[in-house]
Amino acid sequence: MNRVVGTSGRIAFASAMRNLLADVYPGHDLEALVLRVFDELGLPVEGDGPEPKEEYLRKWDQRDAFLITYGDSIHQDGKKGLQSLGEFHRKWLKDWLTGIHILPFHPFTSDDGFSVSDFSKLRDDLGDWNDVEDLAKHGTVMADLVANHISASHPWYQQFLAGEKPGVDYIKTASPNDDLSDVVRPRSHALLNDVVTKAGEKFVWCTFSYDQVDLDYGNSDVFFEMLRVVLNYMQHGVRVVRLDAIGFIWKEAGTTSINLDQTHKLIKAMRLACNAVYPDVLFITETNLPLLENLSYFGNQDEAHLIYNFSLPPVIIHALLSGRSDYIRKCIMAMPPAPAGCTFFNFTASHDGIGLRPAENLIPDDDIDGLREHALKMGGQVSYRALKGGGKKPYELNVTLYSMLAENFGGEATMGLERFVMSQAIAMSLEGIPAIYVQTILATENDQKAFEETGIPRRLNRKVWPLEDAERVLSEEGPAKSAFDQLRALMSIRMGQPAFHPNATQYTLNLGSALLGIWRQSHLNEQSIFCVFNLTETPQDLDLSKINLIMTEGWQDLITQQVIEDYDGIMKLAPYQIVWISNLDGRNRTESRLLQRYRDAMPV
């Protein structure tokens, strides 16, 4: 471990940890809990230690972008999943997707990995910890901590049923007489599962399914168990930890049992502990929530380093299907700049489909219904969540992004590829770090066969690709190759531009309903990029006088290299054209003193 907490820092660390745990575990022996944290981290309570090295303090810049994938999304006979994934990443993606988010890789019993039966090892078909370390040599590895629940086959739950330690004290239970009417859930089945244990009848809290039994963080031992899991990740090269379904970990009858104060304090304690020994490790919270609730997970710059920008997928998709920028402009304008040391994780598709709850208060219900109906028309499925007092509401669209965008709301099956590429270009242009799902990389259509065989809607968007098939579609002329080549080119341009730093200044422009405009400005105000998107299938006029091109600068479109000569003129945008109009192209000055000044000034 990188033991980086010196004497003075150790005192401050102990005090901060004590304050956090005091709010979560009142009445406990706080000194004993803090000493236990020191013990888990391998930190001596007294004595000097080295200070953090400078390289630990660089968190991210415009060169960072992530691939989202399962460990077996790319498959080869005779090879472990992570070995095939590593081969695919090194050959096709390493130069423009610098990070790899591997979805849960432990042995599991359901939910495609999110029902973990053993945290200590990887699935046999994926490989072992050495394979994780090999991936970490070529990219920044993100791993999932499935923090809220375990599989009903996990030893802790089997111990719970048998009345044995330690598991007997690790599982969350409640009484059917408790007031659970306000509990917020993403599923429609009954919350409590009536089971028979050695101690008699118990009602087990199951937020997601009866094979996913919730842990009881009211027992501090559970927190320490999960801390050990995360530390093991870090010892094997993981540098970003995704806290799955983290908003649900603390439950109390008579409350919503989501986003409770204890949840936030436990995330802060986890980050504080891990950064004491691995200061370069980042935490990202997976909280599929409306905007303001999601933003709360930045804390006071002491909680999540990154949060998922869950509002983006539905508003981007609606904009491209409708040809209107109204709702996406509203979304972008509502997003405050991320606090220093924090940023957003921008994506358009993931293994979970297109979440609709984050679109609440951004897209009216009638237009949400339009998205739902379009997904069904395009061969997708819809998942629902239970509402207080009964009834249900659309929670998630299960459909691939490529299939969803193949037609617009008008039923015109033209220019779907252009809509598809633009969806990624928008995410690349916004404040934050872009992430691209493996099925987006491959322009995957709905996997109807997998859905029909399993009856699981999310399987529509979780195709397993033989490596040779994946390489074939990226090599042979066709939609997948065309989209791939465009995305790689766009990302390559993006990586050289200081104004695309994840924390560079962002302004939203009002250029009319048919256009989306975003102004990015680098930290030293030396570079501006005006990102403009024609969201329609018809040509549009961009009035350059509305985007403030300073006359003392030279301007050009970074994508086409077109030089702008008439700053008050009209720029003709083709259907679904993307322009990045800049006064500087960082790709041509990578060794210049100006670019070095940008790097030196990047906030940590």
Give the catalytic positions in this structure. 244
What are the Cα distances from residue 67, in Å, to 230, 238, 436, 544? Answer: 21, 15, 5, 35
How many residues belong to the chain?
604
Token pair in block for residue 507? 């302004």
Angle between helices 261-277 and 7-24 (to 10 degrees): 160
- Pull the structure tokens for residue 316: 């981007």
Q: Is 20 helix (H, G, I), strand (E, B) or coil?
A: helix
| DSSP letter assigned to residue 406 | S
> Distance (Å, rounded) from C-alpha 260 to C-alpha 252?
9
Per the listing, tokens 């695309």 go with 500
Distance between CA 420 and CA 443 in Å, rounded?
9
Vertex 77, ends 75 and 79: CA angle to 5°?
Answer: 75
Closest to 472 measured CA to CA, from 133, 71, 92:
92
Distances, alpha carbon 445 to alpha carbons 329, 338, 366, 404, in Å: 28, 34, 26, 9
List C-alpha distances in Å: 497 to 16, 403, 487, 501, 504. Answer: 38, 32, 16, 7, 10
Kind of pairing between the strands at 505-509 and 465-466: unpaired
CA distance 5 to 133: 25
